[in-house]
């Protein structure tokens, strides 16, 4: 398992940057949500592809075939910890431009779109 110091070395973007990018239209960024399906049923952003962290064993072996390791990739979860772990793993496995969405969907609901339920 990674140390908390490793988690702090991951580049981050804030939800304001995410909202600006989504508002401008299609963005050339891979958007990943690592939350569980039951969490997506409560709150989600439709632009994100879901790869649940609990299913890591199923997707980790083929992720480099599903995604472009050189394309910018932004990762989101509920508060930012699971996504930081996935960012770290992606970076260690060849992805060259990975960013964690700080605060996750919860921060997005609080700061950007209050119609997204909090849980």
What is the distance between the alpha carbons of residues 25 and 27, in angstroms, rounded to a whole number? 6
State which residues of the chain have pLDDT below 50: 1-4
CATH architecture of structural domain 4-111:
3-Layer(aba) Sandwich (3.40)
Q: Please tell me the pTM assigned to this model.
A: 0.92
Q: In the chain, where are the structural domains located?
A: 4-111
Question: Of 63, 77, 90, 98, which one is the catalytic site residue?
Answer: 77
pLDDT computed for residue 25 by the predictor: 85
Instruction: Indicate if 77 belongs to the active site.
Output: yes
pLDDT at 69: 96
d(CA 32, CA 118): 19
Tell me: the pLDDT tens digits for 71-103? 999 999 999 999 999 999 999 999 999 999 999
């Amino acid at each position: 398992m990674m140390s908390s110091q490793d988690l702090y070395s991951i580049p981050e973007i804030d939800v304001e940057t995410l909202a600006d990018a989504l508002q401008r239209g299609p963005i050339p960024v891979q958007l990943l949500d690592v939350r569980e399906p039951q969490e997506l049923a409560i709150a989600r952003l439709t632009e994100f592809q879901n790869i649940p962290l609990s299913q890591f064993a199923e997707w980790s072996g083929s992720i480099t075939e599903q995604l472009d390791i050189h394309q910018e990739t932004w990762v989101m979860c509920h508060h930012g910890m699971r996504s930081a772990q996935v960012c770290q793993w992606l970076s260690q496995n060849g992805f060259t431009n990975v960013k964690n969405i700080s605060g996750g969907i919860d921060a997005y609901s609080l700061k950007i779109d209050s119609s997204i339920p909090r849980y």
